[in-house]
Structure formats: structure tokens, C-alpha cells
Structure 1
Amino acid sequence: MKVKVLFFASCRELAGTKEIAVTLEGAENSTEALRKKLVELLPALEPVAWGITLAVNHEYTDPGQNVQLKDGDEVALIPPISGG
């Protein structure tokens, strides 16, 4: 199964790209599995991988929610917004 991953803000800086295609194998088809795969592919994401918000096909997921992904899904990694 292949999903398109989009990176925004600091995630884009850490990843060094604005998007990649990620292949998830077998039963590994959840947002949790995707986070693990992204850290494996892009180790620089490890410090933020579990603290970022994910949007699957333009729908934000709840913190800690493990969403089942389908072939062709688009997942956006959106870091926390800071500022004053």
C-alpha cells in the first residue's frame, strides 16, 4: 500500500522535502505504522514524530488516534504552532 505524505513548516525542514511516497507492507496500514516508517526513512523526524498532528485526506485526526490508511491516501504532517 502506498500513501502520499506531505510535510509542513518545521517537519518540511527536518525531512528536507515537501512530500514523499511511503509504502506500508502487510498489516502495517495505520497512522501509527506510518509514524514508525517515517522515522525509519527520515531519522531527523524522530524528535517530533509523535507530537505532530496528522491530517488524513484533509481530515485532522485526534491526538493519539490510530487511523487505518488505504492505498492512495494523503497524509499531512502538521507540527504544533507556536508564537505569541
Structure 2
Amino acid sequence: MSNQLKVLLFAKVKEVLGKDSITIDLPIDKSTSFNLIQKLKDIYPQITSILEVSLLAINQEYISSDQDIAICPSDEIAIIPPVSGG
């Protein structure tokens, strides 16, 4: 069994992938923030460098890069890359 996790994309990640969201399948027992980021890097190697400097938000709360938390399909998941302003 697996969880289908909808991930919202913003800024550079959205631009590179050409979508505002993607769905990622993770095994139920491996549905964590660390595994999600790794799976994104595996599926979309072109955004690996952006993911390294991006923030992960779950249910509108930023998750520290050293924090591995469980994720379920009902969670709102977003990748927030750094944004430069002008």
C-alpha cells in the first residue's frame, strides 16, 4: 500500500517543472518528509539543487531540514524555494 501525496510547487520549482502541483506515491511506512524529498530528487533530478535550498511546509508550517516527520495524504505539502526580489 502507498500514500498518494499532493505536493504544491512554487517559484523556481514550479517554473522548472511547468506545473503548480505533483502527486508522489510513497509507501505508507515510508511517508516521511525525508523520504519525500529523496523521492522528488530521484524523479526530478533537475530540481535537486533547488530542493537543497528550499523549505518544506506541511499544513502551512515550515519543517526544519533536520526534522523527519510523518506525512499523510490529507496534509497540505508545499515546496517553497528561496525567492529573490527586486
What residue ranges of structure 1 are gaps of 5+ in the alignment? none
Aligned alpha-carbon RMSD (Å): 1.6
Deviation, structure 1 residue 26: 4.1
Counterpart code for 1:79: P
- Give 1:69's aligned residue: 71
- Give 1:18's aligned residue: 20
Distance in 1, matches of 2:54 and 2:34, equals: 12
Contact kept in structure 2, 1:53 and 1:60, CA below 8 Å: yes
- Structure 1: which 4+ aligned runs deviate by more than 6 Å? none
**Count of paired positions:** 84
Between Structure 1 and Structure 2, the one with more strand by share is 2
**Aligned residue among 57, 61, 64 for 1:55:** 57
Between Structure 1 and Structure 2, the one with more helix by share is 2
Counterpart code for 2:8: L
What residue ranges of structure 2 are gaps of 5+ in the alignment? none
Q: Percent identity?
A: 33
